[in-house]
Amino acid sequence: MCTSIAWENGAFYFGRNLDLETAFGQQVVITPRKHLFCFRREKPMEQHYAMIGMATVMEDCPLYAEAVNEKGLCIAGLNFPENAYYPTEEAAGKAHIAPFELPWWLLGQCATVKEARALLDRTEIVGIPFSESIPVSPLHWHIADRSTSIVVECMRDGMHIHENPVGVLTNNPPFDFHLYNLSQYMNLTALRPENRFADEVELRPFGRGMGAFGLPGDASPASRFVRAAFLTLNSECEEEEEASVAQFFHLLDSVAMTKGSVVAPGGEWEHTLYSCCVNADEGVYYYKTYGNNQLTTVHMHNANLDGEALGVFPLEMKQHILHQN
């Protein structure tokens, strides 16, 4: 399970929690403009936009969980089991891209969501695994730039591209349910609530925050969607980098998963392996891990973006503590 957020606060920020029971060899990876991307069905991409994100590197391929390119276009893949469907028969007249190739395909060629939508119209996402030992991941995707946010879902009745007015995505059910479900919470407010119970009874709030009474607090995808949407859309923060980044991680913390709260099917504890926030304007990738609350940054533009070799940065996993005496 995961949660992604797109948020504009002077600069444009994009990030996510990745919730899983086990690590997957994740590292921060910078892909420069001349790194060769080899596709299973399409011609290799020798020249493309540079990108940065969290990935597993296998056979010199960065398998991105989320990434942003040098133009500020962002993508995150989130778990979408039972609903995700990728055809194995390839339609004529379209490019055929495996799910693990989609971040390269879009971020390598597109500078905006508008360009990504046009490319998706000419693309079919097909059920090709990375290898025999790595099956196809059932995903849907949150794609965003400074002005637009969309969700891409491939289901049995085809590819659906949804406008995303709240800039948030979680997991099942499909995205149109999540938007419809928000109607159940339209009474929530950050303001002091008014008495609408009855004119005959004098009622007053006995504490702050009661305007949002009923905001769901469990870890289910539907509840995380409502909680992340409410907090993001009501967020107030200074338009300054450190304040914005701190605020973004507070938003992610509100939907993070702690060990012991959710048992995965295999009996292990599902938890937030890492949280990340990218300043998409500057290409600065911030992250923290479950075991290390201190923020670590990797700067895309400090790398040689005209090179070919991947820049790989192992995660800081051990807790960093400032001892003041």
The answer to whether 33 and 48 have CB atoms below 8 angstroms apart is yes
Q: Please provide the size of the chain in residues.
A: 325
**Which residues are part of the catalytic machinery?**
2
- 133: its two tokens: 């030992």
Alpha-carbon gap, residue 301 to 303, rounded angstroms = 5
The answer to whether 279 and 300 have CB atoms below 8 angstroms apart is no
The residue among 203, 199, 200, 221 whose CA lies nearest residue 213 is 203
Alpha-carbon gap, residue 286 to 244, rounded angstroms = 12
Rounded alpha-carbon distances, angstroms, from residue 241 to 245, 279, 316, 317: 6, 9, 22, 24
- 73: its two tokens: 């276009």
Alpha-carbon gap, residue 176 to 203, rounded angstroms = 37
Identify the sign of the CA torsion 90, 91, 95, 100. negative
Name the β-bridge partners of 64: 55
Angle in degrees, 0-180, between the axes of helices 221-233 and 241-253, rounded to the nearest 10: 150
